[in-house]
């Protein structure tokens, strides 16, 4: 189904919220895996996740068709001497037929609203446009240590300059501090 204006889709679409602890739902899982495979070139191998199952998901449906997805990961990260509670934005995507109507921005906004107690939202993005428009910024000199996972295998802990993709939005508290970043886990 094509949607002709930003106002229209809110009448047709329904948001649902899910936790990793929900009972398994093979139909929903197949819809998530299908949307991820459609939207990401890197391929998720038919899985509902790339690196790891996110703690939560927000989904957007048009009837039984899944039109949008964002995963939400909650953890602390270290920045210099500080430990910060963060929301990791995971696999944000919208079906090609439903893009450019504000669904992506709405998913981000709703994920952030649910992240009570998290000081920052983090996203890893090659294309910055949507994130810049919704209040994220690039961290200059982002010296990041993280667990590298590939094809559902840990292979090393690596340290990289991720200044080109590391995007942060302040949700509460103080500004992002200076210092090397330890994600205490995998990338989002």
Residue 84 Cβ, how far from ligand COA at the closest point, in Å? Answer: 21
Taking CB under 6 A as the rule, does residue 56 contact ligand COA?
no
Compose the 78-117 pattern: x for residues touching ligand COA by CB under 6 A, - for all others. --------------xxx----xxxxxxx------------
Spatial CB neighbours of 112, under 8 Å, sequence gap ≥ 6: 87, 121, 169, 171
Q: How far apart are CA 71 and CA 38, in angstroms?
A: 16
CA of residue 91 relative to chain centroid, distance: 5
Question: Which one of residues 20, 33, 39, 149 is an interface residue with ligand COA (CB under 6 A)?
Answer: 39
Closest distance between ligand COA and the C-beta of residue 125, in Å? 4
Nearer to ligand COA, 102 or 185 (CB): 102
The token pair at 47 is 């899985």
Biggest CA pair distance of the chain? 50
Let me know how long the chain is. Answer: 188
- Which residues contact ligand COA (rule: CB under 6 A)? 39-40, 92-94, 99-105, 123, 125, 127, 129-130
């Amino acid at each position: 189904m094509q949607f002709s204006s930003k106002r229209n889709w809110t009448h047709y679409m329904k948001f649902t919220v899910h936790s990793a602890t929900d009972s398994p739902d093979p139909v929903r899982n197949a819809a998530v895996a299908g949307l991820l495979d459609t939207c990401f070139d890197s391929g998720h191998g038919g899985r509902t996740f790339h690196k790891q199952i996110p703690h939560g998901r927000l989904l957007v449906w048009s009837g039984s068709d899944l039109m949008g997805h964002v995963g939400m990961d909650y953890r602390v990260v270290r920045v210099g001497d500080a430990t910060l509670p963060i929301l990791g934005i995971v696999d944000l995507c919208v079906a090609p037929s439903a893009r450019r109507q504000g669904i992506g921005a709405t998913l981000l906004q709703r994920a952030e609203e649910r992240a009570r107690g998290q000081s920052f939202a983090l996203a890893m993005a090659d294309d910055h446009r949507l994130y810049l428009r919704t209040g994220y910024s690039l961290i200059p000199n982002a010296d990041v240590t993280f667990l590298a996972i590939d094809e559902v295998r840990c292979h090393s802990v690596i340290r990289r300059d991720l200044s080109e993709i590391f995007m942060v939005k302040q949700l509460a508290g103080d500004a992002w501090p200076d210092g090397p970043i330890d994600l205490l886990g995998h990338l989002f």
